[in-house]
Chains A and B, each alone.
Chain A
Amino acid sequence: DQQVKQNSPSLSVQEGRISILNCDYTNSMFDYFLWYKKYPAEGPTFLISISSIKDKNEDGRFTVFLNKSAKHLSLHIVPSQPGDSAVYFCAAKGNYGGSQGNLIFGKGTKLSVKP
């Protein structure tokens, strides 16, 4: 069963508006959550992360919100730019035995920002 879910395969947003990418998880033993961005023909690159003891982390135009009670996190991009068009992966790191601290990735959401 999927432990990290990105239920929207794609999202289209107008330039200058807010993009909100969502991620749900099932395992309460995750202690870090990360967002990666992937352009075609390139490897994923780290974007922003959040510890499970926090509910918000901000880095420039990017903000990640964590709602532990709902097991939900979201990535907000404000304002969205055409260069933000990419696939965004949500990932979670476990801190329980057997997880080895490996990252578990969602299926990704393809963001298209239209000029």
Chain B
Amino acid sequence: EAQVTQNPRYLITVTGKKLTVTCSQNMNHEYMSWYRQDPGLGLRQIYYSMNVEVTDKGDVPEGYKVSRKEKRNFPLILESPSPNQTSLYFCASSLRGGLVSYNEQFFGPGTRLTVL
């Protein structure tokens, strides 16, 4: 089944304790992206990746890191989480990114993160 998977689905942690949220897709998509969803703010892009080893900042990248060493994986790293990073996180992928292409994005099920 074609899908985007995220782990963990739920995580409660404490301020400053490094964590990684994994994202994997099995559709051979080039483009991957991370979003956070907060009440009243909708979906905001954190980082995106056009292809392997190509990553770039979205609208709210502060406090996050990403890597794209393999096409299928795009982990989100919080080196020193803070309470304002408590949010619902979504990973998404599409066949291609870029100006010319239009491909619908497929979303993972979400990771609910609480930072105490």
Q: Which A residues touch B92, using CB under 8 A?
A: 43
With an 8 Å Cβ cutoff, the count of chain B residues facing the other chain is 28
Cβ of B33 under 8 Å from chain A = yes
Contacts A46-B105, A95-B99, A107-B42 known; A102 to B90 CB distance under 8 Å? no
Count of inter-chain pairs, beta carbons less than 8 A: 67
Residues from chain A with Cβ under 8 Å of B48 in the complex: 100, 102
| Residues of the B chain whose Cβ atoms lie less than 8 Å from the Cβ of A94 | 99
Query: A43 near B97 (CB under 8 angstroms)?
Result: no
B residues engaging A (CB < 8 A)?
4, 33, 35, 40-45, 48, 50, 56, 58, 90, 92, 97-102, 104-110
A interface residue numbers (CB < 8 A to B): 6, 9, 31-32, 34, 36, 41-46, 49, 51, 89, 91, 93-97, 99-108
